[in-house]
Amino acid sequence: MTSAKSVFSMPTPMKITGRSSTITNAFASAIIPVLHPTDDEIHASLRLLGMSVGGVWCSYCGGPHTEWDHLRPTIKNKRPTGYISEIKNLVPACGKCNQSKGNKNWREWMLSDARLSPKTRNIKRLDQKIANLAAYENQSGITNIDFEALLGSSIWSQHWKNWEAVLGQMENAQILADEIREELRRSFPSPET
């Protein structure tokens, strides 16, 4: 006979600490400089990629583009890499490729067996797409900055102290939240054993 418990599942309560990786990512993302391109720079970038404003597609798979992706990741191992949000480091992409690539090296990812990578999706003319991206990457020196050297170590370390404090507060808040939930639970009758 099917047991009642085998067809039931209790929704898992959300954890305050369940958002720590989003917070960590935000602490890196929030400080990366953003340089908005001029029209001329957009035209020039598209030209280098063999595209034009009338014909833009995903640089990795050739599908419809929905966004621009950082060719070299701006965040790795929870810290800024030194690459920034500037058009020299951005290429048109589709959401599928952007999600699948994450902060991996673009060339290794394209040829990898990662889920939804161009190779696993059997994208045609992959060599040509890689050659175009390599040419784009080599054009005029993608900016790479040393955050700590530019800011000074006191501001830099304060920022990461803030990050630790926020995560620490989240952990403390989670401990109290667990206690509150248990205390509230005790005001209800215990289940039959």
**In the complex, which residues of this chain contact Zn ion (CB under 5 A)?**
58, 60-61, 63, 94, 97
84 or 97: CB nearest Zn ion: 97
Least distance in Å: CB of 41 to Zn ion?
A: 22
84 or 94: CB nearest Zn ion: 94
Least distance in Å: CB of 100 to Zn ion?
A: 8
How do 79-80 and 67-70 pair as beta strands? Answer: unpaired
Read out DSSP for 161-175?
A: HHHHHHHHHHHHHHH
Least distance in Å: CB of 117 to Zn ion?
A: 10
**Whether the Cβ atoms of residue 65 and residue 26 lie closer than 8 Å to each other:** no
For 52, the 3-state DSSP assignment is: strand
How many C-beta atoms lie closer than 10 Å to residue 35's C-beta? 13
- The phi, psi pair for 75, rounded to 5°, reads -135, 135
67 or 178: CB nearest Zn ion: 67
Token duo for residue 40: 């001329």
48 or 93: CB nearest Zn ion: 93
Least distance in Å: CB of 91 to Zn ion?
A: 10
Token duo for residue 82: 């030194």
27 or 117: CB nearest Zn ion: 117
- 117, exposed or middle or buried, with CB in 10 Å at 0-12, 13-18, 19+? buried
**Whether the Cβ atoms of residue 29 and residue 74 lie closer than 8 Å to each other:** yes
Least distance in Å: CB of 157 to Zn ion?
A: 39
